């Protein structure tokens, strides 16, 4: 077992707790209890709590990259790949209703805290935006590709916020159906390559 497996365990646990309880409200004591190690031990792996946030964001960036690469390699067309993104909302609906979107809620919290990591967290949105832009370009959207990608992000984030506020399960499904219908209305200029 590699020497820094404790560090990975800390980052994984902090990732979950930051998502479910928020960054500010999650204390070292909470993380220590969840991991099962001593409080003072953290400072051998991370200088400050902000360093831990950096590690969590880096982990999320890495996992997002891996997820997008996985969808890219699935062999389906761009329309199916876009649907993979949209269906995250349905697959994660229980957690979204309870805690919102991990990316959106972190960005909003860091904005209020005027935190230095604000832009680094927003870069996860940048990954989705760029990947979706690529898919819409593959659909032949040309110059409109990025605008369509941002529109899809807007609707996804809106669904997440409203689902969290109303805690309504049926709400996510109907909005996703609306997005799916919107996708079918897009002109498919060059469906393959």
Partner DNA sequence: GACTAATTAGGACGCTTGTCCTAATTTTGC
Partner DNA sequence: GCAAAATTAGGACAAGCGTCCTAATTAGTC
Q: How far apart are CA 153 and CA 126, in angstroms?
A: 10
Q: Which does 8 bind (CB under 5 to 8 A by kind): DNA, a second copy, none?
A: none
Of residues 70 through 89, those in contact with DNA by CB under 7 A are none
- Residue 99 binding target from a second copy, DNA, none, CB below 5 to 8 Å by type: a second copy
Please report, as ranges, the residues that interact with a second copy according to CB under 8 A.
Answer: 20-22, 24-25, 98-100, 103-105, 107-109, 111-113, 121-122, 125, 147, 150-151, 153-159, 161-162, 164-167, 171, 174-175, 178
CA 22, 27, 31, 33 dihedral sign is negative
Q: Which is nearer to DNA, 17 or 179 (CB)?
A: 17
Among DNA, a second copy, none, what binds residue 157 when CB lies within 5 to 8 Å by partner kind? a second copy
Half-sphere exposure of 192 (CA within 13 A, CB side): 2
Tell me, by CB under 7 A, how many residues bind DNA: 21
Residue 47's binding partner, choosing from DNA, a second copy, none, with beta-carbon cut-off 5 to 8 A by kind? DNA
- What is the DSSP-derived secondary structure letter of residue 41? G
Nearer Cβ to DNA, position 51 or 188? 51
Give the closest residue to 160 by CA, choosing from 83, 78, 93.
93
The radius of gyration of the chain's CA atoms, rounded to the nearest angstrom, is 19
Q: How far is the CB of 99 from a second copy (least distance, A)?
A: 6
Measured CA to CA in angstroms, residue 152 lies from 3, 28, 57, 156, 182 at distances of 42, 36, 23, 6, 10
- Distance CA(54)–CA(98), nearest Å, equals 24
Residues near DNA (CB under 7 A): 3-4, 6, 26-30, 37-45, 47-50
């Amino acid at each position: 077992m590699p020497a820094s497996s404790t560090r990975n365990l800390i980052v994984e646990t902090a990732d979950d707790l930051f998502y479910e309880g928020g960054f500010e409200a999650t204390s070292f004591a909470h993380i220590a209890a969840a991991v099962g190690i001593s409080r003072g031990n953290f400072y051998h792996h991370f200088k400050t709590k902000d360093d831990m946030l950096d590690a969590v964001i880096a982990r999320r960036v890495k996992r997002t990259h891996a997820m997008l690469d996985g969808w890219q390699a699935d062999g389906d067309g761009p329309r199916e790949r876009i649907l993979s993104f949209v269906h995250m909302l349905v697959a994660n609906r229980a957690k979204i209703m309870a805690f919102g979107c991990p990316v959106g809620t972190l960005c909003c919290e860091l904005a209020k805290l005027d935190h230095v990591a604000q832009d680094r967290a927003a870069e996860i949105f940048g990954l989705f935006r760029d990947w979706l832009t690529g898919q819409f370009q593959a659909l032949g959207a040309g110059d409109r590709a990025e605008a369509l990608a941002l529109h899809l992000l807007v609707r996804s984030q809106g669904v997440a916020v409203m689902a969290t506020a109303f805690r309504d399960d049926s709400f996510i499904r109907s909005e996703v159906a609306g997005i799916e219908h919107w996708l079918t209305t897009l002109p498919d200029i060059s469906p393959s390559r």
